[in-house]
Structure 1
Amino acid sequence: MSLPSTLLTALLLLTSTTAAATIDASLTTRNQHLVRYLFMDIYTATLYAQSDSNLTDVLDTQQPVRLSLQYHRSIDREDMIKAAGVILERQHPASQLAPLQADIDQLHSHFTDVSEGDTYSLTRTAEGELQLHYNDQLSFRSKTPGLAEIYLGIWLGQDGLSDDLRSALLR
């Protein structure tokens, strides 16, 4: 089922539920949150970070972090790109986004429609590289300074998709 972009943007602003587990030796599951809209499960967001990292300033450090989104519904790539663009423009002035726009467009070019069970993961490495994995396969990487922080900020930054989601992931 494809969701209209306005509905997608609205549903990304509403959330519920939390949990925890582990991913590998360097990053552990810190928090998890189920995003719901109109009684529909949309995706589960899982934040992985080092066990001793302070999550409240995770975007301001150079520590590795991973955000995984496991989808429970089909969503068109264009809807995901539109929603990301709306949030990025709300969070950052055009002067800050302009130098990164080519990288953001390149990242978006690697998006694909998602179906139930698909997973996108965004990872910021200790070196500041942004990696995008789709169903555990690397599909994009960039060493452009600041790109990882700005893009992860869609979920983890101020004025992002949802204050409830951000709070649940960064608690």
Structure 2
Amino acid sequence: MAIIRLCGAFLMMAVSGLAISGSDAAPLDGMNRVGKGQMNWLWLELYHASLYTVDGRYQAGRYPQALEIQYSRDIKAKELLDATGSEWQKQGLNESQVKVFLAKLAPLWVDVKRGDTLLLVASDENHGEFFYNGQSLGGVVDTGLMQVFLGIWLRDDTSEPSLRAQLLGETSCDC
């Protein structure tokens, strides 16, 4: 029985591409917040976001990184996926690459309600794990996916430069 559990644990590590420890460590254990920001659309508050790294400083291309989003509104998974795809198109990803990446995310994502939290812990630019209210939604492995996902918030040409500045700790947020 222990061998079956061990094989199952090894398979989970291979599928997710993430290191799994023997403890019940929280996904953000060992990580420090870089910055926190708030996303609004017109007059509506959509979410609060926090960026984490091991040393609490952001450097592009250095992993692990984690992005935590706490929602202020109910949003359907399809709306989240559509918004993600739209942001990737703004970044210049071609339509076929957007479809491939969205297909990787679609089975994992859920409808969110006010107060819910989604967390991405990216171990490198190709491997990450999503969490919903602290529970794993599953891992994703795809070349460059974590980099382009985090790029929605962290690229120099993000559509939300003030939120980027808050996440990077360059400006503060009263949130």
- TM-score of the aligned structures, taking structure 1 as reference length: 0.73
In the aligned structure 2, how far is the partner of 1:132 from the partner of 1:75? 17
Identity %: 27
> 1:148 matched to which residue of 2?
146
Structure 1 position 36, deviation (Å): 2.5
In the aligned structure 2, how far is the partner of 1:37 from the partner of 1:100? 23
In the aligned structure 1, how far is the partner of 2:93 from the partner of 2:40? 29
> Alignment length, in residue pairs?
142
> 1:51 matched to which residue of 2?
55
The runs of 5 or more residues in structure 2 that have no matched partner are 1-27, 171-175
Q: Alpha carbons of 1:36 and 1:100: their partners in 2 closer, same or farther (altered >3 Å)? A: closer
Counterpart amino acid of residue 92 in structure 2: H
Structure 1 position 113, deviation (Å): 1.4
> 1:34 matched to which residue of 2?
38
In the aligned structure 2, how far is the partner of 1:93 from the partner of 1:42? 25
Q: Deviations over 1:121-160 (max 9, x none)?
A: 1111158411111111111212322111011111111333
Question: Does the Cα contact within 8 Å between 1:74 and 1:114 map onto a contact in 2?
Answer: yes
Q: Alpha carbons of 1:91 and 1:103: their partners in 2 closer, same or farther (altered >3 Å)? A: closer
Question: Does the Cα contact within 8 Å between 2:89 and 2:98 map onto a contact in 1?
Answer: no
Q: Which has the larger radius of gyration?
A: 2
- TM-score of the aligned structures, taking structure 2 as reference length: 0.71
Question: Does the Cα contact within 8 Å between 1:29 and 1:47 map onto a contact in 2?
Answer: yes
Structure 1 position 33, deviation (Å): 0.7
In the aligned structure 1, how far is the partner of 2:56 from the partner of 2:119? 21
2:168 is the counterpart of 1:166: no
2:29 is the counterpart of 1:24: yes
Q: Alpha carbons of 1:151 and 1:127: their partners in 2 closer, same or farther (altered >3 Å)? A: closer
Q: Deviations over 1:7-58 (max 9, x none)?
A: xxxxxxxxxxxxxxxx522x111111122334433211011112264x2x33
RMSD: 2.1
> 1:136 matched to which residue of 2?
134
Question: Does the Cα contact within 8 Å between 2:71 and 2:117 map onto a contact in 1?
Answer: yes
Counterpart amino acid of residue 167 in structure 2: L
Q: Alpha carbons of 1:68 and 1:40: their partners in 2 closer, same or farther (altered >3 Å)? A: same
In the aligned structure 2, how far is the partner of 1:126 from the partner of 1:88? 19
